[in-house]
Structure 1
């Protein structure tokens, strides 16, 4: 099946940015999912009738136990994985409430750029490059 004949899966992704040091939250993909153990920004698929913000709010509560204040789409990218063609709606999130709970058995880490965790989900690599550029950092990795 060619990329053009595959249907996109719409995904809301949260780039959680800690206010005191601009660290980014990454979590691992749970066992049983494609790319299990890879580091990613949290989020998930949009359900029928949901906006990106609604989906992100639901997903972050389901996965991490937090409630976000707001989310605006910052960038939109596409990535063709063997299991799915995804359209990723990247949202910067700077305010949330609640204690983090890893409700899917995943690990989480706050990371500065360049990231220390590997491997990172391939669809996140362009975004990491843009975040590094915004911060005036040289791209020292493949992003």
Structure 2
């Protein structure tokens, strides 16, 4: 059986990261994650992530660099994260209980979905850099 890729997007605006609160399954409900979903057969990671974020959040994104390492969810399922930039649409929690912007100081204290904790170090580094050297608008 081919390996199923699941993608997650780190949407950062200024020095804040968008996190999404799970609605389901019951064992993950109420926990926070980077939003995303499964890549369809024949779809690239970037195309799958852009499609999932449009469906889940109502936003159009440009997919950027990989974030951290792959996380094995099961023997046949791999989770990958990418940095994304919103280029259109309006944020709305279509598939989540809530959306929230968090700063670097709030990252460690959130109740995260276990798999997403693997990226907290990389997210902390990015958010600290953005706080010290904010990107120019329009870059």
- Give the alignment's TM-score, normalised by structure 2: 0.77
Tell me which of 3, 10, 25 is aligned to 2:5.
10
Judging by fraction of residues, say which structure has more strand: 2
Structure 1, unaligned stretches of length 5 or more?
1-5, 137-143
1:88 aligns with 2:104: no
Query: Which structure has more RCO (C-alpha within 8 Å, separation ≥ 6)?
Result: 2
2:71–2:118 contact (8 Å) kept in structure 1: no
Alpha-carbon offset, residue 129 of structure 1? 1.2
Tell me which of 88, 113, 128 is aligned to 2:120.
128
* Structure 1 residues 53 and 121: CA distance shift in structure 2, 3 A: same
Alpha-carbon offset, residue 100 of structure 1? 0.8
Q: What is the number of residues matched between the two proteins? A: 127
Partner of residue 51, structure 2: 58
Q: Distance in 1 between matches of 2:15 and 2:53?
A: 19
* Structure 1 residues 96 and 50: CA distance shift in structure 2, 3 A: same
Alpha-carbon offset, residue 34 of structure 1? 4.7
Q: CA RMSD in A?
A: 2.4
- Give the alignment's TM-score, normalised by structure 1: 0.75
Give CA deviations for 1:53-110 in whole Å, capped at 9, x if unaligned: 00001100110011113333333322346xx753222111123211111112420000
Partner of residue 115, structure 1: 106
2:59–2:88 contact (8 Å) kept in structure 1: yes
Partner of residue 46, structure 1: 39
Q: Which contiguous aligned blocks of 4+ residues in structure 1 show a shift greater than 4 angstroms?
A: none
2:20–2:100 contact (8 Å) kept in structure 1: yes
